[in-house]
Chain A
Amino acid sequence: MNRLSVVDVARHYGRRKALSQINFTCDAGEIVGLLGPNGAGKSTLLNILATLLAPSVGRVEYGNLIPADGAAVRAQIGMLGHDLFLYPELTARENLAFFGHLYGLGDVAARVRAALDRSGLAGRADDQVGGFSRGMRQRVALERALLHDPKLILLDEPFTGLDQASTRALVERLQDRQRAGCLIVLATHDLDVVDGLLTRALFLINGRQSIDSRSGGSLRERYQQAVAGA
């Protein structure tokens, strides 16, 4: 997958419009930020991109694939949600191994070892995730999302609960994935953290896409302009 195209996407819940007329295209190697206040539709859009939600109107294309291609599309997507998609009763190693087997990966044990090393949790690999701090769980969850080397990485508030060192490590990990040719879409409120990391920002205000001028100072200033102009 080298291109993600979102064409006229809208999502309605009954009469409530969560998203309206979203259009954008992005290419491999980009890091796209979905920015906007609470309830703006960021998570809805991420779920649509993850194929977990069907748009009411419009379409999403993943290179030559569409959501109806099912497993072929999902194999290329890695998602880290606000909830971390981990089983607290299982150890870090068991969680990663479970998803490795579920994805049908080869040599799961080696992949899991490498992932645990990268997350800095090799020493706690056999501890139940329920006893981990939020930051540690977030690191395991990120490795779970990236275990199958996805080409499209979707992250919902990935910096929540992370200390400075973990935030820096996550930024470096995302830059590493960017260099590897992955396309990253992340929804966040941590504007100062992602300023300079994003190659593009997409402002969502009340479910509508707002134009990013790409000029006019810091990301925070552009965000404030977008919100004020809505």
Chain B
Amino acid sequence: MTLVSALIIPGIIIRTKSLCSGRKGPALFQPLFDAGVLLRKGVVLSPVTTLVFRIAPSVSLASVLTAVLLVPMGRQDALLSFSADFVYFTYILALGRFFMILAALDTGSSFEGMGANREALYSLLVEPVFLLLLGTYAMFTGYTSFSEIFSHFYFSNNYAFIAGILGFYLLIQIAMVENSRLPVDDPKTHLELTMVHEVMILDYSGPDLAIIHFSTWIKFALYGALVSNSLVPSGWPVALQTGLFLLLQLSFGIIIGLLESFRARNKMTKNPQFILTLTAIALLVFTIMLLSSYMSSK
């Protein structure tokens, strides 16, 4: 399901952004057609590169797909579910990123080195936010895996409600940072000096580039799924749940499109500060949840 939604979200985002800026925009599945074209193209390799460069996209996609297996769909359990699986989730995504960073350094280009460096910094800052949030949920619900946490997440009182809303905000922002979107990075930018993710993959072409696109989309939909999951009620039949899940994923795309349309990119030097603010908000969520579980027990 996440994979299906992954195919459509990028198109939705682009369409939303186009509509907001007063254009008609490309067809909904245009990114897919583009990827199809890429798959049919040849490969250009730099003589500087090594095996690392060729294997990195595959590792990246594989890591994202493994992560997909860990995330539940709606109220259905994930295919792989175990205690503290969100730690595995974070670390396996880090593995994919590790290889993409190396691939960028592999080309020996100063621009790509710069992009790799930024990516490494932002992800190192944003990882604690994610684990902090999930750790907080684990503390609040008393369950320790994605499937259990999301199936037992409920708005028991006002505190939990506030914390839940902040949690959604954080998840959306984490999704933006992890996938190099606004306000940290602008996927549309065309100047190498100001890019993050795009500059890392400058030297990729053909099927490799398509693989990278796939993994970016899936990763994005994955974070969308995390948000959507907690909104699907558990009592519904499976078909309805799936429908609602897809609908939520679509609206996730629209929300991202809207957010991106009305927001400018940060100055590069502001980005760490922005991500650290997210950490602070995550700590706030933790505090609220902590208070709420002790207020209600006494």
Tell me if chain B binds chain A.
no
- Which residues of B are interface residues toward A (Cβ below 8 A)? none
